[in-house]
Structure 1
Amino acid sequence: MRVHPSELYFYHSSAQSNDKQTKAYAKSLTKFVNEIDVINEPITATKWNEILGMLELRPKDLLNRSHPDYQNQIAGKDWDDEGWINILVKFPHLISSPIAIYKNKAVFCKTPTDILKLD
């Protein structure tokens, strides 16, 4: 993924209230924060594959497994790799934490201070 060297890409779900603090830390790293709300700006399967490759995570690792939609529609079923990617595309509100990409490094921000690993 080509990114501007001084721009931080902040992928988050507007449905998550805890992302505000992480975003504040992002703005402490650089004044150029490109905020992408994955609910209002759908991410393609190709882009999800790129992001997951940078994170070195599986799609399932990004999801909030306690969310009712996960429990009702995803849990207990056998999904292949493409199926998991399609879940991210179709259910972006299930992403449990924001993702930050800066200077060709990516981090899944389980806590707000995780974003500081990018500096």
Structure 2
Amino acid sequence: MGVIAMDKRQITLYYSSKNSIGKQIHAYVESSGKKNLAIDISKTNVTGTQWAEIASGLNIPIRDLVAQHHPDFLEIYGENKQDLDENDWLKILEKEPHLLKHPIAIDGENYIELESAASFKKFMEPDSAGLEKS
């Protein structure tokens, strides 16, 4: 059993209020009419275990949660990412949450990385067969 609560009647959103896409998607989730739990990672500490569970739910390595082309990432870590192991990536997300690549929504057991507000609208459509859910 994971540490993230799964509820078919609730959307859990991991986002940062420090970027415009995060704010937009948060507004869409709030107005979706579905019960939701919004976790602003710029104000709430997300543990390494939770990040690992999110990556697993998305079927991606933890490093893919990080915006590796973000200027702050490049300034701190440079281009040489091969030296970073899984624990390093977890520490980056814990210490620099603004480096989360995209907001993440969890709806029941479905995880989705939301690249735009439009992707959330598509995720919420009753027939979202064209959108792959992890």
Normalising by structure 1, report the TM-score: 0.86
Gaps of 5+ in 1: none
Q: Does 1:51 align with 2:38?
A: no
1:33-91, Cα deviation, whole Å (9 max, x unpaired): 11100111010001111111001122222222332320121232410111111111111
Q: How many equivalent pairs are there?
A: 119
Aligned mates of 1:111, 1:59 — CA distance in 2: 20
Residue 117 in structure 1 maps to residue 123 in structure 2: yes
Q: Which amino acid aligns with 2:107?
A: Y
Task: Give aligned-pair identity as a percent.
Answer: 31
**TM-aligned CA distance change 1:12 to 1:34, over 3 Å:** same
Aligned match for 2:14, one of 11, 27, 30: 11
Specify the structure having the higher radius of gyration (Cα).
2
Using CA pairs under 8 Å that are at least 6 residues apart, name the structure with larger relative contact order, 1 or 2: 1
- Asked if the contact 1:59/1:88 (under 8 Å) is kept, the reply is no
Instruction: For 2:57 and 2:72, locate their aligned partners in 1 and report how far apart those are by CA, in whole Å.
Output: 27
User: Map of 1:19-58 to 2, 5 A cutoff?
Assistant: 19-27=22-30, 29-58=32-61
Cα pair distance change 1:30/1:54, threshold 3 Å: farther
Q: Which structure 2 segments of 5+ residues have no match? A: 126-134
Distance across 2 between alignment mates of 1:73 and 1:4: 37
Q: TM-score, normalised by structure 2?
A: 0.77
Alignment-derived partner of residue 103 in structure 1: 108
How far did 1:103 drift?
1.1
- Secondary structure of the residue aligned to 2:19 is coil
Partner of 1:90: 95
1:29 Cα shift?
4.4
Give the aligned CA root-mean-square deviation in angstroms.
1.9
How far 1:21 moved relative to its partner? 2.8
Distance in 1 (CA, whole Å) between partners of 2:8 and 2:30 is 15
Q: Is contact 2:17–2:23 with CA below 8 Å preserved after alignment?
A: no
